[in-house]
Structure 1
C-alpha cells in the first residue's frame, strides 16, 4: 500500500540518495591507499616522491576532517564503497581528467575539493574546474559535491558555472564588433571630458545581472529591448549610459560593449563550447547547477553532513515527478534488473532459437553487407523484446512510487506541477495546446537515431514538397524478404507503399474529433526540433457558423479515399543521414518512367500507430458500390 505520509523530501531521497552505493573523494589533502601502503614498504623500496608528498599533507596534522567525511559515508545504511584520489598522480591535467573519468564509471558520487593545487599556487581552482568539465562530458549522469574551504562559496560557484559557458563576446559577429569599436572612440572622448568612467561598469553590473542574461529562457533580443528602455537586468547600466548622453544605435552598441567588458576579467574561465542544458540557482542558502550529464552542489568544508547537503540541493532543484520516476526506474533496473534478466534468460529454447536465427545469413542471395543489416534488424527487435520483458518485472514498483508522488502532492492541489514551470490551468491557452501537441507526438513517435537506419513501417518522409508515411508491414521491408509488388526479386531494391499526408497549417483547427479520428498524427520533424506538426490524410476545413453560436466548427473534409503510391527503395531500404534514395514509377507521355529521387526521413511512428495507416491502405482498396449512380 502506498505511503500516504511521504513528503517531497522523502521522494527525492528515495529517487536520488538511496541508490548511491559508492563515492570517490578527490582531495589533495586526503590519504590515498597508494601512500599508506607505500609507507609499509622498506625504506629502500618506497616511492620517494609519493612519500614526500604524503608527509606534507594536512591530514597528518589534523586527521579529524577527512575522518569525519569518511565516517559519514561508512555509517550510511548500506555503507558506501569509498575511494580516494589526490588528483596529483598524473603528469598533466588531461591525464588526471581521463583517469578520474574512468574512476567515475564505477562511482555514484564525486566529492571534489575545489583548490587541488593549494592556495599558494595561484591557480584558483583550475584543476578542479577542468575535472568538473571532464566529468560533465562523460556518458553518465553524475552527482557531484564541490567541497571547498574557500571563504567565498559564491565566487567558487560562479567560476565553475562560467567554465561551462562560451563567452558572449566570442559569438559577436563583425557588425557588432564594428559597432563596439566605433563606440570606443566616443567613450574615449567622454572619458577625456570627465563624463564617463569605465570602472563604474562593475558597480552597475553584478555577476547576478550577467548570469540572469545567460539563462536559457532569456532572449538576447528581448534583453536589448529592455535595456533600451532602462528596464530589466541591466537597467542601472542603461541609465548610466543615458546619463553619459548615449542614445539610439550608440546605446544598443553600449549593451554589447558592457557585456564584453564584464567578460574580460573572466576570460580564462570560459569554455570553448557551451554545455547542454545548463541551469542553476544562486540562492546563497543553496548553490547548485546542473547539465544534461550531471548535478553539482556546492558546500563549504566543516562539520557538515554531505549527503544531507546534497539532498537539500536536489530538493532546491525541484526535479519534476517525471524525473523522480525516471530516477526510480534506473534504480529498480539496477537493483532487480539482474534477477529479472535471469528469469527471462531461463527460457533457453527461446534464446537458443534466437541465436541460431541471428547467426544465420538467411537468404543466401544476400550480400555480406545486406546480411549484416538484416542481423542488426533482428538484434534490435530482440533487444526491444528483451527490454520490455525486463521492464515488466519492475513496472509495479515504479508504479507504486508514482502513486506515492501523487499522494504526497495532495491529490487535487497538484503542487508539484509548478516544477515544470508551465501553466496548463487554461485548456485553451497556447501553453496547453503546445503541451497536448508535444504529448501526442511523444506517445506516437520514436526519436530518430544518428547514423544509418533501415526503412520501416511508420517512417515519415518528405519528397517533392509532400509528406508521406511508409505503410508497408515491417516484415516485408527487411533485406531478404520476398515481395509481391513485382514479378521476380532484387537484392538491391525494395518496393514499398506510402500514404500521402497533408500538413494542418493551423494547429488551432485540431480538436478532439480530429485527434480521436485515427486520421492524424503528430510529429516533431528532425529538422524542426521543438516544433510539432499535425499530419493527416484528409484535410480540415472550417464549416459554416453554428446557429446561435459565435464559433466556427472544424470538420474533416468528407473524403474516404486515401492517396497512396508504390515506391522502390534503393540499397534495400537503407537510410543514411536521414536520406533515402528511391525510384518513383510514373507515367509520362503514356509511358512508364522510373524516376530517381531522394527523400528526407523526418520522423518515425511507433508501430501501433503505423499499423493504423497500413489499415487505411487496406480500407482504401476494398471499396464496394462501383456500379452506383
Structure 2
C-alpha cells in the first residue's frame, strides 16, 4: 500500500490511542511505588516499568500499571478495557512459564463490546509458539472432545489407531486451520495429513479424520475452559492472523487486535509502537474498517453533550425535556418515552457525523488511494470478486450469502424496541407476518376520545399485519430489486420472506388485537415476544373467529424507510376502487 494508506492506518489506529495500561507481574503498580524500599525490591523490572511510564508520558499518553490478576477477575479486565492500548506480559507468574492468566485476559477482551488494541510483550524466543498458543485459546470452538461423536466408523478407527507415528502439523498448517477451518488448509497440506494417517479401508471420511488430527493438536495448546465466558466465534471468520519469521506477528479476533512483540531493552516505547504499526499494516484493514474506526475516534474525541448546536444549549434542553414530559403524559410508559428521546438524539448525532467535512475528506483520500493501489484488481467483470479484493480478504465466500447479508443490512435493523411497530416481522411456528399498522396506532396512549371504539379497547390495540411466505434464498435474491421480499437474519439464520403475492403483487392483510399495546418481553438468548389475539379460521367448515391469546416471536425489523414503503403499498391496496368494464367482441 502507499504512504497515504500507511498514514491513514497510523492516524486512526495508533494516533487515536489516548491511554495505556501496562500489565506485568514484574512491574510495581502506583500503590507499590509509595511503599517501602523493601517492597520495591520484589519487582525485578521496576526500571523497565519506570522507563516505559516515562516514555509514554512524553507521548502524552496517560499510563496505568497492574501486576496481579486473579482468575475470573472481570472488574480488572473492565478497567483494562477502558484504556486504548494494553501492553500485556505473556507470562504473568514468577517463573515466566505460565500463560493461563494472560490467555484469560485476552479471551475476555476478545468477547467485550469495546475494540481493544493489545501488545503481547514477551521474552519468549519463539514468537510463533506464542502466536499458536493465543490463537488456539481464542478458537475454543475447535475443541477435539466430542468432535467424532456420531461418526461411528471414524470414531472406531480413531480409537484403534496409534498417533505416535503421525507427523505433527507444521505451524503454518495450524495457522491455516485456525484462521480458515479445514477449507483454509492448502490442498497439498491436507493430502499430506491424510497420507500420514495411513487410513486403510473404505467407508471412512478421510477429511473428517484429518480435521480431528488438527483439532487434537489445537487442543494440546488450549488451557482449561474459562468459566462464565460466552464466545461468539463467527465461524471460520472468527479469527484472522499472520506471522512471518522475521516480520510482524498479529491476531485479530472479534473485539481484539493483538500484536505480539519481543521485549528489548533500548527505546522500548518506540519499539512497541513501531511494532504495533507494522502489525496493523500487515493486517491490511480495508476501507470500511478504517472508516468505522475513524467514526469511533470522532465519537470519543468530540463532546457532543457540550455542543450548543446539539444538546448543551439550555433552551434546547428545555424543549427536549418538554418533549419527554409530553410523551410521558400521553403514553404513561416511561420506557417508550425514553426510547423515543434516545431515537431523536441518535438521529441528530447520525446527521452530525455523516456531514462532518473532515471525516468525509479522510474517507475520500483513503478510498482514492486504495482504488489507485488496487488498480485493475477491482475492475474485472466479476463485481463480487472486485468487492473481495477491496475488502482485503483471500477467504472463499458464498455469493448467495454475501448478497443476502447485504440486502439484510440495507433494509433491516436489530429489533430492541419496547413495543412492536410498523415493519416488525414476527412469527408463530412456520407462519410469518409483518406489522403494517402506522406506528402511531401502536403506542401506549389511548386513541381518540373516550367514546371511540379504539379507546374503549385500550390497552388492547387493533393491528393490521400482512402474511409473509418463507421462500428459497436464491429466488428471493433473483427478484430482490422488485422490493417484494424481506431479508431477515436472526442468530445466523436466514429468513427470505416474500411480502407481496408473486402474481398479483398484492399483500395478504390479517387482523390482530395486541395485548398491552404490543409491549415486547425480552429473555436472554431468545427472541423478543409479544401477546396478541388473532382472527382466523381454525375450522374450514365454520366461520372465522377470534383465536385465543397467543405469544408471537419477533424475528426482525425493517428500517424506517423500507417499513414506510410497505405501509404505503398496503394502504394503496385498501384504497383500491373496483370498477366495471366489458370487453368488446
Q: TM-score, normalised by structure 2?
A: 0.82
Displacement of 1:287 after TM fit? 1.1
1:371-412 deviation per Cα after TM superposition (whole angstroms, max 9, x unaligned): 4xx322222221121122233333323222210121211459
* Matched residue, 2:172: 208
- For residues 134-283 of structure 1, the aligned pairs below 5 Å read 134-166=108-140, 167-176=142-151, 179-180=154-155, 183-185=158-160, 187=162, 198-201=163-166, 203-216=167-180, 218=182, 231-242=187-198, 245=200, 248-249=203-204, 255=210, 258-259=213-214, 262-263=217-218, 265-266=220-221, 268=223, 274=231, 276=233, 277-283=238-244
Partners of 2:554 and 2:75 lie apart in 1 by 40
Matched, 1:610 2:563: yes
C-alpha distance in structure 1 between counterparts of 2:232 and 2:535, whole Å: 47
SS in 2 for 1:266: coil
Kept in 2: contact 1:289–1:295 (CA 8 A):
yes
Q: Does 1:495 align with 2:470?
A: no
* 1:582 aligns to 2:532 (yes or no): yes
Tell me if 1:301 matches 2:260. Answer: no
CA shift in 2, pair 1:336/1:562, >3 Å? same
Q: How does 1:430-509 map to 2 (within 5 A)?
A: 434-449=401-416, 453-463=418-428, 465-482=430-447, 486=453, 488-505=455-472, 507-508=474-475
Contact persistence 2:118–2:259 (CA under 8 A): yes
Bigger Cα displacement from structure 2, 578-587 vs 408-417: 408-417
Aligned equivalent of 2:545: 593
Q: How far 1:463 moved relative to its partner?
A: 4.5
> 1:537 aligns to what?
500
1:74 aligns with 2:44: no
**What residue is the counterpart of 2:71 in the other structure?**
93
Give the match for residue 193 of structure 1: none
Deviations 1:196-245 (A, max 9, x none): xx4332x44234333433334545xx98xx9xxxx543432322333x75
SS at match of 1:215: helix
1:393 corresponds to: 352
| Cα distance in structure 1, aligned partners of 2:508 and 2:474 | 22
Aligned to 2:393: none
Residue matched to 2:370: 409
Is 1:381 paired with 2:340?
yes
Displacement, 1:447? Answer: 1.4
Q: Equivalents in 2 of 1:443, 1:257: separation in Å?
A: 39
Query: Distance in 2 between the 1:160 and 1:392 partners?
Result: 40
Deviation at 1:350, TM superposition (A): 4.5
Alpha-carbon distance, 1:413 to partner = 4.2
Do the aligned residues in 2 keep the contact of 1:503 with 1:536 (CA within 8 Å)? no
1:257, distance to aligned residue in structure 2 (A) = 6.0
Contact 2:87 2:120 in 1 (8 A): yes
CA distance in structure 2 between the aligned counterparts of 1:462 and 1:394, rounded to whole angstroms: 36
Cα distance in 1 for partners of 2:407, 2:510 equals 27
SS state at 1:476 partner: helix
Matched residue SS, 1:150: coil
Query: 1:46 aligns to what?
Result: none
Distance between the aligned counterparts of 2:109 and 2:469, measured in 1?
46
Counterparts of residues 14-25 of structure 1 (less than 5 Å): 14-25=11-22
Q: Distance in 1 between the 2:397 and 2:243 partners? A: 30
Contact 2:32 2:40 in 1 (8 A): yes
Contact 1:422 1:431 in 2 (8 A): no
Corresponding residue pairs, total: 548
Residues 261 and 68 of structure 1: CA distance in aligned 2, closer, same or farther (over 3 Å): same
Q: Deviations over 1:394-440 (max 9, x none)?
A: 3323222210121211459468979xx962479xx995565444323
- Cα distance, 1:318 vs. partner? 1.6
1:311 equivalent in alignment to 2:277: yes
Give how far 1:263 is off: 4.9
Contact 1:444–1:521 under 8 Å retained in 2:
no
Taking structure 1 as reference, are residues 582 and 255 closer, same or farther at Cα in structure 2, changes over 3 Å only? same
SS in structure 2 of the partner of residue 379 of structure 1: helix
CA-to-aligned-CA distance 1:549-568 (integer Å, 9 cap, x gap): xxxxxxxx3x3643222211
Partner of 1:56: 42
Contact kept? 2:128, 2:171, Cα under 8 Å: no
The 3-state SS of whatever aligns with 2:88 is strand
Change (3 A) 1:291 1:183: closer
- Displacement, 1:176? 4.5
Q: Secondary structure at the match of 2:63?
A: strand
TM-score by length of 1: 0.77
For 1:504 and 1:250, the matched residues in 2 are separated by 33
User: Are 1:500 and 1:564, in contact at CA under 8 Å, matched by a contact in 2?
Assistant: yes
- Give the deviation of 1:152 after TM superposition: 1.3
- Residues 516, 593 of structure 1: alpha-carbon distance in 2 compared, 3 angstrom cutoff: same
Q: Which runs of 5+ in 1 are unaligned?
A: 40-50, 188-197, 540-556
SS at match of 2:465: strand
Distance 1:481 1:417 in 2: 56
Task: Verify the 8 A CA contact 2:21 2:86 in the aligned structure 1.
Answer: yes
Q: Distance in 2 between matches of 1:146 and 1:486?
A: 67
Other-structure match for 2:524:
none
Stretches of structure 2 lacking an aligned partner (at least 5 in a row): 389-395, 522-526
Q: After TM superposition, give the deviation of residue 493 of structure 1 in Å.
A: 1.5
